[in-house]
Amino acid sequence: MSFKAAGFKHDAQFARVRLSKGRNLKEYRSDFILCEYQTRPDVDRTEWDIQQVRAVYKRDEWRLQFVCRTTIDPDPPGDGVAGVDLGICNFAAVSFGGESVLYPGGSLKEDEYYFTKKKAKCDNSSSRKATRLDRKRTGRRTHFLHALSKAIVTECVERGVGTLVVGDLGGIREGDESGESRNWGDHGNLDLHGWAFDRFTTLLDYKAESEGIDVELVSERDTSKSCSACGQTDKTQRVERGLYVCEKCDTVANADVNGAENIRQKVLLSLVTDGGDRDNGWLAQPSVCLFDSESGAFVPREQVTS
């Protein structure tokens, strides 16, 4: 059975589709079937351009097939390179080189706190109420990550970025080379962020690809300890109140932006060797985009100096 454009209404947010039963029924009768469906976790429903919905009866169950229009292999928006540094406080810091944007993870943390507290009040962690809370929490986390990856890819498209370089946290979660692990806060944070970073990278990769942007993972080694303006690496470099201060060239940078710019430069290779007399003020003055739960998207906040 197939439903053309006029015969269905898709609700991406709640993973539902309304299938029309036709126009012959009398007005007081319900003339549609509301179907709830599930997809693989990495599928972004909001990107679907559905042309047709098919209902297929197979192995004792009804399956929905969505026929979507999609663009294959689009040209990259440009040849720019952007770097992404993932972290706890700022979930993502993005450097475009000459400009930077921070995406704080506050609302993700607030959710986590809220749901952990709510769940603790459940008598039984496998009760229906607890299960419902878990599902809701996962849904909200997922939405946050979708909105974030979408916001970053949109910024990249606007700036003609063709390559997005992401710091790979894989090894760091186990503790980095020097044996010291990062301060991940309590164990709950570790669980959440391990999950969220993997998931986020997958979503970012998928959304970037659909815009022709290449995503590269690079090691995060030394990206937080080196000065992105002069290249000086200081193992004892202390980051204070989110600022990286270089003792050699006096550059002051937002620590996460400095990390993101170092990650970006890993792919730029020898492209930039312009003597270091550039204006580095942007390193200390990122724009900030905050998650707005009302619109479900990231919105820019005025320029701040952190």
Q: Shortest Cβ distance from residue 233 to Zn ion (Å)?
A: 10
Pick the closer one to Zn ion by CB: 52 or 232.
232
Compute the least distance from the CB of residue 176 to Zn ion, in Å: 22
Distance between CA 209 and CA 125 in Å, rounded? 39
Q: What is the DSSP string of 248-281?
A: TT--EEEHHHHHHHHHHHHHHGGG--STT-S--H
Residue number, 149 or 228, with CB nearest to Zn ion: 228
99 contacts 284 by C-beta, under 8 angstroms? no
CA distance 164 to 168: 12
Q: Which one, 149 or 251, has the nearer CB to Zn ion? A: 251
Question: How would you classify residue 270: left for phi > 0, otherwise alpha for psi between -120 and 50, otherwise beta?
Answer: alpha
Q: How far is the CB of 34 from Zn ion (least distance, A)?
A: 59
- Reported as type and span, the H/E element at residue 143 is helix 128-158
14's tokens:
């709640």
Sites of contact with Zn ion (CB under 5 A): 227, 229-230, 232, 246, 248-249, 251
How many C-beta neighbours within 10 Å does residue 219 have? 16
Structure-token pair, residue 149: 């990856």
Q: Which is nearer to Zn ion, 163 or 280 (CB)?
A: 280
Nearest distance in Å: CB 275, Zn ion: 13
For the bound state, the minimum distance from the C-beta of residue 137 to Zn ion, rounded and expressed in Å, comes to 42
CA pair distance 101, 79, nearest whole angstrom: 19
Q: How far is the CB of 258 from Zn ion (least distance, A)?
A: 9
Residue closer to Zn ion by CB (options 201, 258) is 258
Q: What are phi and psi of 107, to 5 degrees?
A: -70, -25
* Nearest CB to Zn ion, comparing residues 244 and 298: 244
